[in-house]
Amino acid sequence: MLTIQSNVSLKSYNTFGIEATARYLVEVDNDEDIQTLLQLPDVQTLPKLILGGGSNLLLTQDFNGLVVKINIKGIRTVKEDQENVWVRVGAGENWHEFVLYCVERGLAGLENLSLIPGTVGAAPMQNIGAYGVEIKDTFERLEAVHILTGQKRVFTNEECRFGYRDSVFKNELKGQYIICNVQFKLQKTPVFHVSYGDIQKTLDQMGVNELSIKAVSDAVIKIRRSKLPDPVEIGNAGSFFKNPEISVMQYEHLKLMYPEIPGYVISNEVVKVPAGWLIEQCGWKGKRFGSIGVHARQALVLVNYGGGKGLEIKQLAEKIQSSVEEQFGIRLHTEVNFV
């Protein structure tokens, strides 16, 4: 049974804790609900905002349309062989809880992505990643419903056109599909990725002698908790900006002026530079402006201390972008979606 509510506060539906109102809101529990909803004549004419965990969202104004909250649950194994297990997951499942589900069952491939906020359905949209691993590494396929026609379609890994924090759903198919479920191909024998960031150092501190996917997951959780604020305590959407990728030539030029500039080699021509370091060099880390600010432990995270407006955070982000571009000649792009 679909219940469409009117004039709903979205404060509890976004991890920034921004106060904004949706003209209408409906929660859907299965694929059929979505298809039924999209056939309603009144719904077809409304602007729509598809919402998962609200953890990658900045509300800058009220939403004068229909917010569709995805609550599709369920985790099941669809097939298995000697090396792999294929798992299909409802788009409304909590991402971190799904990762823990895999870790507990010895299914490898997602442990580096522990404690990333949000839902499973939102994960492929921006090809979430952390510590040298991205969702595209284990993603097999997803099912989605076309908003205009109500038709269901399968997207393969190739068809999702994954890039760095990017996919076809953020570009030419933006706002056209609602993701219902996602299927992953996970390994029974893990291939560990511990060279990125502080994972190995943290494992050493934890006294881990024998690597396991649980140990890697625990290390990632420990690192993330030490650096990133809990949205329950301080409103935030995790990393606000993408780490920029620049040419080797530009990186070498910057290294002459800033010998300590960190960088991760992506290819013979491209280096990824941590956006947090650039922002910190420009003096933003820990700065507070009334109810909003830049987090004291991680400059990549913008925060709402309570009562902050989405527009204020957007303006702060623009000032940070301008100062980084002025000092380093690098344009930062946001990871968070603005509404």
Could you identify the residue written with the tokens 């620049």? 246
Angle, CA 171 vertex, CA 181 and CA 327 arms, to 5°? 120
Could you identify the residue written with the tokens 């569709």? 68
Other Cβ atoms within 10 Å of 39 Cβ, number: 11
Angle, CA 59 vertex, CA 120 and CA 139 arms, to 5°? 20
What is d(CA 302, CA 295) in angstroms, rounded to the nearest whole number? 6
What is d(CA 277, CA 62) in angstroms, rounded to the nearest whole number? 33
Query: Hey, is 84 helix, strand or coil?
Result: strand
What is d(CA 202, CA 63) in angstroms, rounded to the nearest whole number? 43
Query: If you ran DSSP here, which 8-state letter would residue 121 be given?
Result: T
Q: Which of 227, 197, 203 is nearest to 215 (CA)?
A: 203
Other Cβ atoms within 10 Å of 75 Cβ, number: 16
Query: Hey, is 337 helix, strand or coil?
Result: strand
What is d(CA 81, CA 72) in angstroms, rounded to the nearest whole number? 27
For the annotated catalytic residues, the residue numbers are 165, 239, 335
If you count them, how many residues does the chain have?
A: 339
What is d(CA 268, CA 274) in angstroms, rounded to the nearest whole number? 18
User: Is the separation of the CB atoms in 329 and 250 below 8 Å?
Assistant: yes
